[in-house]
Amino acid sequence: MPKQPVHESQVAMPEPRVALVSGGGTGIGAAIAQSLRDAGWNVVIFGRRPSLLAAVSEATGAVPLSADVTDEEAPAQLVSSTLAMFGRLDALVLNAAVSRPGRFAELSDTDWRVMTDTNLISAARLTRACLPPLVQTGGSVVGVASLAALRASSFMSGYAASKAGLGLMLQSVAVEYGKQGVRANLICPGLVRTDMSEQSLTLLSEQRGITVDDAYSLATSNVPLRRAGTPEEIAGVVRFLVSPDAGYLTGAIIPVDGGASAVDVAALVYESDH
Protein backbone atom coordinates (compact mmCIF):
# COMPACT_ATOMS: atom_id res chain seq x y z
CA MET A 1 0.00 0.00 0.00
CA PRO A 2 1.25 3.51 -0.68
CA LYS A 3 2.59 5.38 2.31
CA GLN A 4 0.26 7.90 3.82
CA PRO A 5 1.55 11.48 3.69
CA VAL A 6 2.89 12.78 6.98
CA HIS A 7 1.36 16.04 8.07
CA GLU A 8 3.79 18.73 9.21
CA SER A 9 2.19 18.72 12.68
CA GLN A 10 3.15 15.06 13.09
CA VAL A 11 6.86 15.74 12.55
CA ALA A 12 8.88 16.39 15.71
CA MET A 13 10.58 19.72 15.13
CA PRO A 14 14.01 20.31 16.69
CA GLU A 15 14.03 22.53 19.75
CA PRO A 16 15.45 26.01 19.19
CA ARG A 17 18.98 26.31 20.47
CA VAL A 18 19.58 28.57 23.47
CA ALA A 19 22.39 31.07 24.06
CA LEU A 20 23.40 33.07 27.12
CA VAL A 21 25.16 36.35 26.22
CA SER A 22 26.96 38.53 28.76
CA GLY A 23 27.20 42.24 28.12
CA GLY A 24 24.14 41.97 25.89
CA GLY A 25 22.82 45.49 26.38
CA THR A 26 25.02 47.44 23.97
CA GLY A 27 27.22 47.30 20.90
CA ILE A 28 28.60 43.92 19.96
CA GLY A 29 26.53 42.08 22.59
CA ALA A 30 23.30 43.55 21.24
CA ALA A 31 24.30 42.67 17.68
CA ILE A 32 25.06 39.09 18.75
CA ALA A 33 21.62 38.82 20.33
CA GLN A 34 20.00 40.07 17.12
CA SER A 35 22.04 37.76 14.90
CA LEU A 36 21.24 34.67 16.94
CA ARG A 37 17.57 35.57 17.17
CA ASP A 38 17.52 35.96 13.37
CA ALA A 39 18.91 32.43 13.18
CA GLY A 40 16.06 31.07 15.29
CA TRP A 41 17.85 30.88 18.64
CA ASN A 42 16.36 31.67 22.01
CA VAL A 43 18.69 34.21 23.60
CA VAL A 44 19.15 35.35 27.18
CA ILE A 45 21.10 38.60 27.58
CA PHE A 46 22.38 39.98 30.82
CA GLY A 47 24.27 42.96 32.15
CA ARG A 48 24.18 45.62 34.83
CA ARG A 49 21.94 48.23 33.13
CA PRO A 50 18.29 47.12 32.97
CA SER A 51 17.18 49.97 30.71
CA LEU A 52 19.68 49.05 27.99
CA LEU A 53 18.79 45.37 28.26
CA ALA A 54 15.11 46.22 27.96
CA ALA A 55 15.73 48.17 24.75
CA VAL A 56 17.65 45.27 23.19
CA SER A 57 14.96 42.85 24.36
CA GLU A 58 12.24 44.93 22.72
CA ALA A 59 14.21 45.12 19.47
CA THR A 60 15.29 41.49 19.29
CA GLY A 61 13.03 39.34 21.44
CA ALA A 62 15.94 38.28 23.64
CA VAL A 63 15.14 37.68 27.31
CA PRO A 64 16.79 40.27 29.58
CA LEU A 65 18.18 39.40 32.99
CA SER A 66 19.79 42.05 35.15
CA ALA A 67 23.00 40.75 36.73
CA ASP A 68 26.51 41.90 37.56
CA VAL A 69 29.05 39.57 36.00
CA THR A 70 31.35 40.04 39.00
CA ASP A 71 28.70 38.85 41.47
CA GLU A 72 29.80 35.41 42.62
CA GLU A 73 26.19 34.24 42.94
CA ALA A 74 25.12 35.47 39.49
CA PRO A 75 26.34 32.58 37.29
CA ALA A 76 24.35 29.89 39.09
CA GLN A 77 21.26 32.10 39.08
CA LEU A 78 21.63 32.91 35.37
CA VAL A 79 22.03 29.27 34.40
CA SER A 80 19.14 28.23 36.63
CA SER A 81 16.86 30.90 35.13
CA THR A 82 17.86 30.00 31.58
CA LEU A 83 17.20 26.30 32.13
CA ALA A 84 13.89 27.07 33.83
CA MET A 85 12.76 29.05 30.79
CA PHE A 86 14.11 26.92 27.97
CA GLY A 87 15.27 23.59 29.43
CA ARG A 88 18.67 23.66 27.73
CA LEU A 89 21.78 25.71 27.00
CA ASP A 90 23.71 25.42 23.74
CA ALA A 91 26.06 28.41 23.76
CA LEU A 92 27.71 30.85 26.13
CA VAL A 93 29.03 34.11 24.71
CA LEU A 94 31.48 35.91 26.99
CA ASN A 95 31.16 39.48 25.81
CA ALA A 96 31.16 41.56 29.01
CA ALA A 97 34.36 43.51 29.57
CA VAL A 98 35.81 46.60 31.18
CA SER A 99 38.91 48.62 30.31
CA ARG A 100 40.92 51.07 32.40
CA PRO A 101 43.49 52.58 30.06
CA GLY A 102 46.61 54.10 31.49
CA ARG A 103 50.38 53.98 31.52
CA PHE A 104 51.64 50.69 32.91
CA ALA A 105 53.49 52.30 35.82
CA GLU A 106 50.41 54.33 36.76
CA LEU A 107 47.83 51.51 36.86
CA SER A 108 46.95 50.70 40.45
CA ASP A 109 46.32 47.31 41.99
CA THR A 110 42.65 48.27 42.02
CA ASP A 111 42.73 48.92 38.26
CA TRP A 112 44.28 45.51 37.68
CA ARG A 113 41.79 43.79 39.98
CA VAL A 114 38.78 45.41 38.28
CA MET A 115 39.92 44.37 34.80
CA THR A 116 41.06 40.90 35.81
CA ASP A 117 37.92 40.22 37.84
CA THR A 118 35.54 41.31 35.08
CA ASN A 119 37.41 40.11 31.99
CA LEU A 120 38.92 36.87 33.25
CA ILE A 121 37.86 35.61 36.69
CA SER A 122 34.16 36.32 36.14
CA ALA A 123 34.37 34.73 32.69
CA ALA A 124 35.89 31.62 34.25
CA ARG A 125 33.18 31.53 36.92
CA LEU A 126 30.39 31.85 34.35
CA THR A 127 31.92 29.25 32.07
CA ARG A 128 32.24 26.83 34.98
CA ALA A 129 28.56 27.26 35.81
CA CYS A 130 27.53 26.70 32.19
CA LEU A 131 29.62 23.60 31.52
CA PRO A 132 27.16 20.96 32.83
CA PRO A 133 24.29 21.99 30.49
CA LEU A 134 26.75 22.60 27.64
CA VAL A 135 28.05 19.05 28.04
CA GLN A 136 24.49 17.80 27.74
CA THR A 137 23.91 19.60 24.43
CA GLY A 138 27.44 19.40 23.01
CA GLY A 139 27.44 23.18 23.10
CA SER A 140 30.13 25.81 22.78
CA VAL A 141 31.69 28.85 24.42
CA VAL A 142 32.78 31.92 22.48
CA GLY A 143 34.84 34.65 24.11
CA VAL A 144 34.89 38.15 22.67
CA ALA A 145 38.28 39.69 23.35
CA SER A 146 40.15 42.28 21.30
CA LEU A 147 43.15 42.69 19.07
CA ALA A 148 44.75 43.84 22.33
CA ALA A 149 44.88 40.15 23.32
CA LEU A 150 47.26 39.54 20.40
CA ARG A 151 49.21 42.77 19.95
CA ALA A 152 50.64 45.18 22.53
CA SER A 153 50.00 48.91 22.54
CA SER A 154 50.55 51.77 24.93
CA PHE A 155 48.11 52.40 27.78
CA MET A 156 46.35 49.01 27.48
CA SER A 157 48.53 46.62 29.50
CA GLY A 158 45.91 45.57 32.06
CA TYR A 159 43.16 45.07 29.51
CA ALA A 160 45.50 43.23 27.15
CA ALA A 161 46.75 40.89 29.85
CA SER A 162 43.24 39.99 31.00
CA LYS A 163 42.02 39.35 27.46
CA ALA A 164 45.09 37.31 26.55
CA GLY A 165 44.39 35.24 29.65
CA LEU A 166 40.83 34.69 28.45
CA GLY A 167 42.20 33.13 25.27
CA LEU A 168 44.35 30.59 27.10
CA MET A 169 41.49 29.87 29.48
CA LEU A 170 39.19 28.99 26.60
CA GLN A 171 41.85 26.89 24.92
CA SER A 172 42.13 24.97 28.19
CA VAL A 173 38.37 24.44 28.17
CA ALA A 174 38.59 23.23 24.57
CA VAL A 175 41.27 20.69 25.48
CA GLU A 176 39.66 19.46 28.70
CA TYR A 177 36.06 19.26 27.50
CA GLY A 178 36.48 18.42 23.84
CA LYS A 179 36.06 14.74 24.63
CA GLN A 180 32.61 15.61 25.99
CA GLY A 181 31.66 17.47 22.84
CA VAL A 182 32.10 21.02 24.11
CA ARG A 183 33.89 23.54 21.89
CA ALA A 184 35.51 26.82 22.98
CA ASN A 185 36.93 29.61 20.83
CA LEU A 186 38.02 33.23 21.16
CA ILE A 187 37.55 36.06 18.67
CA CYS A 188 39.68 39.20 18.72
CA PRO A 189 37.95 42.13 17.05
CA GLY A 190 39.92 45.10 15.84
CA LEU A 191 38.45 48.59 15.84
CA VAL A 192 34.64 48.30 15.69
CA ARG A 193 32.16 51.17 15.46
CA THR A 194 30.46 51.01 18.86
CA ASP A 195 29.53 53.62 21.46
CA MET A 196 32.73 52.80 23.33
CA SER A 197 35.00 53.33 20.33
CA GLU A 198 32.97 56.40 19.36
CA GLN A 199 33.98 58.05 22.64
CA SER A 200 37.65 57.29 22.03
CA LEU A 201 37.57 58.43 18.42
CA THR A 202 35.67 61.59 19.37
CA LEU A 203 38.50 62.46 21.73
CA LEU A 204 41.01 61.81 18.94
CA SER A 205 39.02 63.98 16.56
CA GLU A 206 39.02 66.85 19.06
CA GLN A 207 42.76 66.51 19.62
CA ARG A 208 43.48 66.54 15.89
CA GLY A 209 40.82 69.04 14.86
CA ILE A 210 39.18 66.60 12.46
CA THR A 211 35.79 64.94 12.14
CA VAL A 212 34.99 61.66 13.87
CA ASP A 213 34.78 59.92 10.48
CA ASP A 214 38.23 61.27 9.63
CA ALA A 215 39.45 59.97 13.00
CA TYR A 216 38.20 56.50 12.10
CA SER A 217 39.96 56.76 8.74
CA LEU A 218 43.16 57.81 10.49
CA ALA A 219 42.91 54.98 13.03
CA THR A 220 42.45 52.41 10.27
CA SER A 221 44.87 53.88 7.72
CA ASN A 222 47.16 50.85 8.05
CA VAL A 223 44.39 48.26 8.30
CA PRO A 224 44.22 46.33 5.00
CA LEU A 225 40.46 46.86 4.65
CA ARG A 226 40.92 50.56 5.50
CA ARG A 227 37.87 50.80 7.75
CA ALA A 228 36.50 49.88 11.13
CA GLY A 229 34.29 46.86 11.55
CA THR A 230 30.62 46.85 12.49
CA PRO A 231 29.01 45.06 15.43
CA GLU A 232 27.01 43.02 12.93
CA GLU A 233 30.20 41.71 11.30
CA ILE A 234 31.52 40.55 14.66
CA ALA A 235 28.15 39.01 15.50
CA GLY A 236 28.22 37.08 12.24
CA VAL A 237 31.46 35.37 13.25
CA VAL A 238 30.00 34.48 16.66
CA ARG A 239 26.89 33.11 14.97
CA PHE A 240 29.07 30.88 12.80
CA LEU A 241 31.18 29.68 15.73
CA VAL A 242 28.18 28.50 17.75
CA SER A 243 26.57 26.84 14.72
CA PRO A 244 26.96 23.24 13.52
CA ASP A 245 28.93 24.62 10.56
CA ALA A 246 31.81 25.21 13.00
CA GLY A 247 31.46 21.75 14.54
CA TYR A 248 35.15 20.87 14.10
CA LEU A 249 36.51 24.26 15.13
CA THR A 250 37.68 24.54 18.71
CA GLY A 251 40.59 25.98 20.66
CA ALA A 252 41.00 28.74 18.06
CA ILE A 253 41.95 32.36 18.65
CA ILE A 254 40.58 34.23 15.66
CA PRO A 255 41.37 37.86 14.74
CA VAL A 256 38.38 39.66 13.23
CA ASP A 257 40.23 42.86 12.51
CA GLY A 258 40.15 43.74 8.83
CA GLY A 259 43.60 42.21 8.47
CA ALA A 260 45.29 44.47 11.04
CA SER A 261 47.12 41.63 12.80
CA ALA A 262 48.61 40.46 9.49
CA VAL A 263 50.44 43.74 8.87
CA ASP A 264 54.25 43.83 9.04
CA VAL A 265 54.66 47.22 10.70
CA ALA A 266 58.30 47.55 9.68
CA ALA A 267 57.27 47.23 6.02
CA LEU A 268 54.75 50.07 6.21
CA VAL A 269 57.48 52.44 5.06
CA TYR A 270 57.12 50.83 1.62
CA GLU A 271 53.32 51.00 1.65
CA SER A 272 51.68 53.01 -1.09
CA ASP A 273 48.07 53.22 -2.24
CA HIS A 274 49.16 54.66 -5.57
Catalytic residues: 159
Amino acid at 122: S
Q: What is the DSSP annotation of 88-144?
A: ---EEEE---------GGG--HHHHHHHHIIIIIHHHHHHHHHHHHHHHHT-EEEEE
Q: Are 44 and 75 in contact (CB under 8 A)?
A: no
Instruction: For residue 102, give the nearest of 153, 162, 151, 166 by alpha carbon.
Output: 153
* C-alpha to C-alpha distance for 92 and 133, rounded to whole angstroms: 10
* C-alpha to C-alpha distance for 19 and 39, rounded to whole angstroms: 12
* C-alpha to C-alpha distance for 24 and 49, rounded to whole angstroms: 10
Which positions ≥6 away from 110 have C-beta within 8 Å? none
